[in-house]
Structure formats: structure tokens, C-alpha cells
Amino acid sequence: MKLSIHSSEQMGRRGAALIMTLIILALITVMAMGFASLVRNETLSAGSHQSRGRALLHAQMGTDIVTSTLRNLTADPGLTWASRPGALVTASSDFPTKLAVQTDLHSGFPSARMLAPDSDVKDVLRPANVNMATLYDDGGHLITDETGGGTQPMALPLRWVYIRKDGALDFAEEPDLTNTANPITGRYAFWADDESSKVNINTAWKRNAPGDSESGASFNPFFPTHPTGVDLGALFTAADPSLTPVTARQMADFLHASITPNHRYTSVAAAGGRFFNDLSEMRRLDHLPGSPGGFASVLSKARFQLTHYNHDPDTTFFNEPRIVLTTQEKYAPRNPDGSLVTDANGVPYFLDILNTPDSDPGQGSKENLNRAKLDKTIRKLITYLQRADWPMTSGSGGSLQSKYYPGSTAFENNELRLTQMALNIVEYVRSAESSLSLVEPIRGIIDLNGTYGAKGAFISNAHVGDVINVGNGVANIYKGSARSLYITEVSAWIGDKPVVRGGVNYWPCELYCEIHLPKHGGLDHIDLADVDGKMVSVGYSHYLLNPGEFFSPDTFAAFTGKYIPCHATTIIGGDTKIKAGEYRTAYLKALIKVNARPATMPLRLGLALGPKMTPTQVATEGVPDPGSVFNNARRLELAPAGQVFTMTVDPPSTPKESIRSYEVTEHNVNSVARSWTHDENGALIPSTSLAPHTFGSINRRTQSVLGQHASALAFPPSSSPELDTDKDGNVTAAGLRMPYPKGHAKNPHGIVYSAGELGFIHTGIESNRNGTLGGVPFRTLRLQPSRHNTTVVPDWAFMDLFSAPVVMPASARRIFAPNDSALGGRINVNGMVEPFADTGRHPQLSAVLERNLPVIAVLSGVPNPTETDPDRLVNAAEAKATAANIYHRKLATGGKNYGHPGVYDSPGEIAEIAGVADQGELSESILRSIASLITTRGSVFTIYTIGQSLDQTRSHDLRVTGEQRHRTVLEALRHLDPATGQATRIHFRKAGHTDLYP
């Protein structure tokens, strides 16, 4: 049968339709499969993104925990705190100044089981390693490339903190994975480093070596205690022993020149210099023209010891600003608006005593010194001396007042005597900042009755005339210890036969006054007849005679005053030039109008810097009126300051060369009569042991004490503060020092360079003229291991209440002083790394991570004089050994642990450590050199965090679905309250943030 055409066409159409249908179905199927695949991929992508987001949130938890911990524990100005890498140590509200509780700034250290490679712990539960390898820094490891004795960079393991579905935290190292109702969904680990325990490459540089010339292009123009004095070269050689010291210094110079080509911070940016924004930028220095190379290698070895940014609170452990040891307003702490920072009583935090800001403080006149300001400053210092809540002492601790003046707490007995110690601090600073050769000491009284102003105020006699005479009824008379000349020995010879004139007896008399220029008194030499264009005059003041009856026959014209200029005719031997440590004796011939030869003579002697006169002028014109010499000149000395002492006159026929004399044991201790008329054990003098006199040479009383073993002396009592001694325990005068004048090669800047210079403050000068004994010679604030128990406040604690001025280059101010209560570049001596070096708490540590190179950089090259080598410096080996002692808290012989056992409460506490200041008074130079460069807490922390999102599987296992790592630099900005001066306004900000990728 033959098909019709129409049937075949119809069949073709049907076939085509079938094919098209199949094609469409296929396309639909492909599209459906594509959509399904797309949905599946989008689901996976969304899940991955969600896991990453969860990991990000988990990582942020570590940062938030550290931030909240710091905000909670360090923002209360009433609570003391200290920091170290990985931990805070804080006080409790019950004892707000006593460090008591350590709070870890990390997620925990794993147990031995979790660390053991052969244990059956699941791999997914193994601890986090915060020190991952990274491409971020040329393939190095994140925190350190140190191997800890192995072959690979150290792992820094941390415990995980697990997070369950309902947000609960699970701190178990092996959490329960069978809980399907509330499964594990993530975990995090974190560790916070204290950047102040590192060396800041933006502020550190080097110390000048012996022989370096100021004209040298790379001479450090800043003073040694400036943050630039932290020695990078010493750190480089300690990190890489293959480097020679010369190469290391070249590297330090090259690094610093990349910041400021002229090394003075006036060339930053303008000459191509710039500060480092990250440590990794050190590597580029290897590729710059003229580079000595080695920076990449050093960075690999010392990354853990270095930082590009840090600062610490420039406040005391009482959380108030330190008193800057300066009279110069330009160095005073200021608020952001430029006003002076003051305490609640309106007293600024510097020695505010001048009428004209930033003027030379050496003049003691009322035009120069402001009585009201001086009173407030003295009172402020006294309140510190009276504090009894020191953080490092055990028990109540007592105060420096109770330490130096034990017994009655009556105002007249002890608090008044504190004024002398406070005044000595002011005097030392005045001497450092004055360009005058001789600084007029401040004299005064405490106005108990309100005669001259406020009751209880310190009144300087520069403002009320001769207030000493007016105030004879008070017990305490004050004379500051400044850069000056001192009277150390006096005597009088009276002839056997009177000169009879008009029926009146006049007895020939010669008065002798020994003038001493202290060995370390701030002057190498001086000419008594020519000091700053003036002349030293000697005053003989007594109450036996009336004015006009005391004159000088023979040599001079009628002497109606009581002062005699020093020139060749009035100085025994004729030499008016005096070198440091020497003595000159001035003498005066006179006739005393009295009927019978006197057996005693009450005396008080003075030195004044008055008009310069030649012998001819004196002989023809006489001595100027006492008012013109004493009131219009600088009064350098009055001995004793508080009253006359009665001198016993030798019997008739005693030769002049054999007369007895009255002398003091030590030049500072001459303010009260008892220091002249009694020895240190209470015996009356003079005695036969003081005959004949020792004019022109060292006093016998000095020889009987100086160089003697302190234990062999009957004074002071064993319970009293110690005398200054050398390394063998013998009494020394090494602590009796005064600064050179401003502009001198040994004091070019004219400032106090370190809070450690408080170790020169004399604590034995007696102000109470009615006391049983005189003052205590050869005793200064002790910045050495304390010989008292830990219930007595050590002298070194007082140092932390003060700071030295810091000269801030304008272009670098934000680096050196990031805000109004912070200072960059100091080194936190609390460098023990928690938990990676704390074997006491974590004995399972197989290797420890130490950070002691910064302390080596601080110690290297600082003065460490000996009796035979006064210019000796700390060498590399000594710096390394002492830094290890500080790091491991190895006590000196007789040293003690104060305060919290895990940290240093105060920078001065390192005085108790072996190698720091345990070799006698001279060894205080080490602490003095670094006191302004160390701290016990920081304000910049780098937080390393790891966050992971997890799936808890049906097989009771964990699967990591996302990970995020962060490095966040967090800084605390502490602003001072203008009303109280305390650091009450505090906020935290991120100074840097980096997402980390392996």
C-alpha cells in the first residue's frame, strides 16, 4: 500500500516535534541541574562566608576581652597596677596601692597532656599556635623566629576557649562532643603582648662612646637619660654575636639617620626621613645606599625584642603625675589646652618657685623667688614624705617621716624636720638649673604663729628681712644645701695682755674660718677673690659686743662691720684660689672691748658674695656696711644657721698654732650648734683630740668617720637609716654631690637628668636646734638594697614619684609624648613573658621565651665608676649578666623581694637586684643612669587572636569550617583631669590592625 504525501509529511512533523520536545526537555533538565548546582554552590559559598564571619567574630572576642580587662583594671585612678607581657597585676579595693592579683591577658597555657606529641589527644583538639609562619614578613614567623634550643622556630601554644551553640563558653581542653543539643560551634585563643617591654626603634639610638666628639655627624646631642640613649647597637650585638660593636654602632647610626638625617629630629620628612610604621620596614635598610647591612638578619633574631611604637603612663603608682624635677615652667606637665596640670589644691607638678617663669633659679632674692609658690612646693614634697601607703611594703609600711624621724609624731618634732629634706630637693634642682657658680641657699623658718602669712607656712628670709633673728623662738631653722662654699672649722685666739686705750681694755683677737669647696660640689675650682666678678666675704657674727666696738687695727682701717673680704691678706698662705676638695682659712685681726679676758666666745659665721674690693680699697675705705654686703649680696653660708654656739677660748699663753678649734664632721652638717659642740655620740667638743687645729686640711672628726666601717661607729643607731658606705661597708662621701653650673661640659643642658639623682639628697642635715645631737653626716637617700625589713619603706620607692625633664623635639613629639600623660621609649623591666617563660606557674614548658635584650640596651655603656676608675662604664658582659638578674629577679646579697612576687611594683625596686646597685654608694650611678628610662607598666598592647568556626559531627568529632587571625595594637590614652591632676579620663583606641594569613 502506498502512503500518501500528506501522511509522510505528517509523520515528519511529528518526528520533528518529538525531537524538539526532547531538546527542550534536555534543556530544561540541564537548566534544572544547573540551577541545582548553582544553589548547591551558593549554599556552600554562603556557608563558607558564614563560617568565616563566625570565625571573625570569635577572633574579635580575644581583642574585646583584653580591651575590657584593661578598661576595668587600669582605669581607676585609685588602684595601683603593673603590666608584663601576657598579664596584668592589680590591687584590690581593700588595699588600693598593694599589688595582689594577677590577671592573665591570654586564653591559658595548655596542660602537659595536650602538649605531649605521643598522647592520644585528637589532632583537632591540639592547642592553638599563636606563632604561625606567615608570608606577611618575608616568610618569618609572626612573633619570633627564636628556636628555644631546637631547630625550628618555637611554637607558642595556647588553650582554646570553646563556644557552644547557645553562646556558653566551654573552657575544657577536651570538651564534651556528645552533647548534640548544645554542640560546639567555634573557639578562640588570644595573647596580649606589652609593647613597653620592647625597644622602640623610633625613639632608641645609642649612647656616645668615650672619645666621641660633639662635632661628629653621628654624635647623640641628647642627654644620656633621654630615650635616644637606649642603645640599639648593644641590642644588635646581643641578638647577633657575629656582629662587631663597630658594625652594630654603624647600624644604629644608619637606622636613626633614616628617621632624621641630622640625628636631631629637625630633619624628619624635610630631608627624606620618616618614622617606621612597622618593624618589617627595617628590612628595606639593607637595600639603601651606604647601608652597613645586616638589618634583615638582626630583625629575624630580635623581632620579639623590638617594636615601632610604645609608651607608658608618665604617672606614679598612685596614678597621679610625677613631679618633674625642674623649676622651669617650660618642662612642666600641661593639659591639652596648654594650661599647667595641677593637683586638687592647685599646685602644679613641678617645683614652681620662681616669680619669672624659666628664669635662673640661682638667685635667692625676693625678686626671684616667690614665697607663696615656694611654700606650696615645700608642702607638696612633705606630703609625699609623709605617705604611708607605699605599694611595695608589707604591712602598713610607714612613711619616710617615720623612718627618718621615728618616735613622736608631733608636728613640731617630726613634720617640721621633714622640711629640711624637702628643701634639699629644691636646692639640688636649683643648683642644676642655675648658670651661677655659687647658688645662694634658701634659708627660712616655719611660721607657726602666722606672723608673716598663713600659719604653718614656710617663710624664706629673702622675703621678710632677717627672719632668722625674728624667729629665734622657733625650734627649727632651715638652710638649703646648694652648690656653694661651706664653713667647716672655726676658732679664735685671744692674747694674754690687753691693749689699754683711755683706761679701757681691748684684747687682741684673731678669728679663723675654714672655707671648704666640696670635692664633688659642682665646681672644679674657684677664686674666692673673683667669683662672677664678685668677692667672697666672711662674716663674724656674735652677741658679746655691740656694733662699733669690733674693729681691725694694724692691717686695716677701723672695722665697723662684721665682714671681711677674701683676698691675699686675709687668707692664710695668701692663696685665694681653691680646688675641689681643698680648704682655705680666712682670718681677721681685731680688738675686743671687754674688761677681763674672755673664757668663752659665742660665734656664728657667714659667707656672702659681695662687692669685689682690692686690699688697697679695704685699707683706705674700710668694709662696706653689713647691710650692703649681706642683704644686697648672695648669702652663701651661715653656720650654724639656727643659733650661735659658745666657743671655749684656750688658756693664756697658748700659741696660735696650738689653739683648739671647733669643726664639723661633714660640710653639709653644720646648721645647728650641736653639730659643732657635740660629736656624733653626744660627747662635748672640743677635746684634746682636736688640738691643735687642722685649718687648711681635712678635719679630724671627718677622718674619724670617713673610711671607717659603719658597724664600728656608735652612730646612728642600728635601727636608723644607714650611712653612705662603699662596697666594703666603709663610710664614704661619694654620695655628696652637686650639679655643675648650667652650660658646663658636665651639665650642658642645665637640668636634672634623672630621677635617680635623688640619691644625692642629704637626709642627715638637722634643722632642730634644740635636739640632743647634731645632724648625721654622710647620709643621703639610699638607692641600694635596703637594710631594713620589708615593713619599712625603702628610699628607692621615693624615686618613682618624680621624673626628669624630657626635651621634646617638636617634629617628634607625637612619638616621644603621644599624649599629655605618656612618654614613649621607656623599657618595662617587667619583661617575664606570661605564659611562655613563667616556669613557676607552668612547669610543663619545654622551652622558654625570654625578653631581656631591651634591658641590656638600657644598661650598656652607663657609668659604673670605681674608686680607682671613675670613668668606668658598664661593658657588654656586665650588661648581659645584670639584665638576666633583673629578668629573673636574682637578689643581691642582702636584697629583698618587695611587694608582689611576680612583678616589680616600682622601677626603683631593681636596686635590690644583683649587679644594679649592690656595690656601695658609687654603684648607685647605674640606677641613676637608667631611672628615667625604665618603667613597670605600659600603655600599648599588641593582641594576637585566633578564631575558628567549627562543626560538631555525628561521629563526635570537630571539623574546622573557617579561621581568622588578627593582630591588633591597642593603646590606652590617659588624660589628666584639670581639677585634680589625676589620670581619670581614659579611653582605648586601635593604633593598628592587621588580618593575618599563613
DSSP class per residue in 184-209: EEEEEEEEEEEGGGSEETTT-B-PPP
What the block records as the C-alpha cell of 173 is 581542653
What the block records as the C-alpha cell of 301 is 633574631
Report CA 41 to chain centroid distance, whole Å: 63
At 54, is the secondary structure helix, strand, or coil?
A: helix
pLDDT at 477: 87
CA distance 388 to 97: 10
Report CA 909 to chain centroid distance, whole Å: 11
Cα dihedral sign, 666-670-671-676: positive
C-alpha separations of 13 from 7, 21, 22, 28 in Å: 10, 12, 14, 22
**Average pLDDT of the segment spanning 759-769:** 93
What the block records as the C-alpha cell of 692 is 691643735
pLDDT at 552: 37
The DSSP bridge pattern shows strands 323-324 and 802-803 to be: parallel
pLDDT at 39 exceeding the cut of 80 = no
CA distance 772 to 678: 9
Give per-residue pLDDT as tens, 902-911. Answer: 899 999 999 9
pLDDT at 525: 97
Q: At what angle do helices 295-302 and 245-259 cross, to 10 degrees?
A: 100
Rg (CA), the chain: 38
Question: Which of 60-64, 323-327, 335-339, 662-666 is predicted least confidently?
Answer: 335-339
Confidence of residue 417 (pLDDT cuts 50, 70, 90): confident
pLDDT at 453: 72
pLDDT at 632: 58
pLDDT at 102 exceeding the cut of 80 = yes
Q: At what angle do helices 232-239 and 295-302 cross, to 10 degrees?
A: 80
Kindly provide the b/e burial profile for residues 386-422, where b requires at least 16 CB atoms within 10 angstroms of the residue's own CB: ebebbbbbeeebbbbbbbbbeeeeeeeebbbbbbbbb
Confidence of residue 979 (pLDDT cuts 50, 70, 90): confident
pLDDT at 464 exceeding the cut of 60 = no
Between residues 397 and 561, which one has the greater pLDDT?
A: 397
pLDDT at 490 exceeding the cut of 90 = yes
pLDDT at 561 exceeding the cut of 80 = no
At 800, is the secondary structure helix, strand, or coil?
A: helix
DSSP string, 244-275: -HHHHHHHHHHHHHHH-TTSSSSSBTTTSB--
pLDDT at 325: 96
CA distance 643 to 775: 15
CA distance 853 to 144: 14
pLDDT at 850 exceeding the cut of 90 = yes
CA distance 526 to 577: 6
What the block records as the C-alpha cell of 583 is 680648704
pLDDT at 410: 47
pLDDT at 438 exceeding the cut of 60 = yes
CA distance 932 to 203: 14
Kindly provide the b/e burial profile for residues 72-108, where b requires at least 16 CB atoms within 10 angstroms of the residue's own CB: ebbbbbebbbbbbbbbbbbbeeeebbbbeebebbbbb
The DSSP bridge pattern shows strands 934-935 and 827-828 to be: parallel
Confidence of residue 556 (pLDDT cuts 50, 70, 90): very low
pLDDT at 334 exceeding the cut of 60 = yes
**Average pLDDT of the segment spanning 452-460:** 81
What the block records as the C-alpha cell of 539 is 662674716
pLDDT at 26: 83
Amino acid at 773: L
Percent of the chain with pLDDT over 70: 90
Residue of 489, 468, 464, 465 lying closest to 478 (CA atoms): 468
Q: Is it true that the peptide bond before 835 is cis, omega within 30 degrees of 0?
A: yes
Query: How buried is 705 (Cβ within 10 angstroms: 0-12 exposed, 13-18 middle, 19+ buried)?
Result: buried
pLDDT at 313 exceeding the cut of 80 = yes
Query: How buried is 137 (Cβ within 10 angstroms: 0-12 exposed, 13-18 middle, 19+ buried)?
Result: middle
CA distance 860 to 883: 10
What the block records as the C-alpha cell of 725 is 658606705
**Sequence-separated (6 or more) residues with CB below 8 Å from residue 637:** 441, 484, 485, 486, 487, 605, 606, 607
Torsions phi, psi of 108, nearest 5?
120, 155
Residue of 411, 423, 486, 415 lying closest to 459 (CA atoms): 423
Within 13 Å, how many C-alpha atoms sit on residue 284's CB side?
Answer: 8
pLDDT at 44: 58
Average pLDDT, the chain: 87
pLDDT at 689: 63
CA distance 223 to 20: 94
pTM of the model: 0.90
Q: How many residues does the chain have?
A: 998
Between residues 375 and 533, which one has the greater pLDDT?
A: 375
CA distance 173 to 190: 15
Do the Cβ atoms of 495 and 482 come closer than 8 Å?
no
Give residue for cell 607558642: 156
**Average pLDDT of the segment spanning 507-535:** 92
pLDDT at 970 exceeding the cut of 70 = yes
Sheet of 477-479, strands arranged across: 457-460, 443-447, 477-479
Confidence of residue 563 (pLDDT cuts 50, 70, 90): low
**Sequence-separated (6 or more) residues with CB below 8 Å from residue 835:** 86, 104, 106, 108, 109, 841, 842, 845
Do the Cβ atoms of 538 and 563 come closer than 8 Å?
yes
Kindly provide the b/e burial profile for residues 797-829, where b requires at least 16 CB atoms within 10 angstroms of the residue's own CB: bbbbbbbbbbebeebbeebbbbbbbbbbbbbbb
pLDDT at 550: 40
Query: How buried is 791 (Cβ within 10 angstroms: 0-12 exposed, 13-18 middle, 19+ buried)?
Result: exposed
**Average pLDDT of the segment spanning 564-572:** 85
Q: How many H-runs (helices) and E-runs (strands) does the chain carry?
A: 18, 35
**Average pLDDT of the segment spanning 321-332:** 94
The DSSP bridge pattern shows strands 577-579 and 525-527 to be: antiparallel
Confidence of residue 312 (pLDDT cuts 50, 70, 90): very high
Question: Which of 175-184, 363-372, 404-413, 871-880 is predicted least confidently?
Answer: 404-413
The DSSP bridge pattern shows strands 161-164 and 184-194 to be: antiparallel
**Sequence-separated (6 or more) residues with CB below 8 Å from residue 648:** 599, 600, 660, 686
